[in-house]
Amino acid sequence: MSKKNNLSKRKKQYEFELQREKEEREKQKKKLQAKKNKMKVSSAIFCPCRRFLFCFVSFCISLVG
């Protein structure tokens, strides 16, 4: 009887660990996806030289003039 209980406990523990690993992978995947989305937005808004306002004004002047 104790062998049966031991096997049952190990099986439950194994399934629990699999579930936990799966959840961790999903969290990591979501975190990476959020970082990618954040980087896309940041790069779209800011120019590489980090002088957004100046570059925006000079860009508008170049369009007008």
- For the segment 6-36, what is each residue's pLDDT rounded down to a tens digit? 888 999 999 999 999 999 999 999 988 888 7
Q: State the pLDDT at residue 27.
A: 94
Confidence of residue 63 (pLDDT cuts 50, 70, 90): low
d(CA 35, CA 41): 10
Q: Tell me the residue range of the domain where 15 lies.
A: 2-64
Classified as helix, coil or strand, 1 is coil
Q: State the pLDDT at residue 3.
A: 73
Q: Tell me how many domains the chain contains.
A: 1
Is the model more confident about 58 or about 33?
A: 33
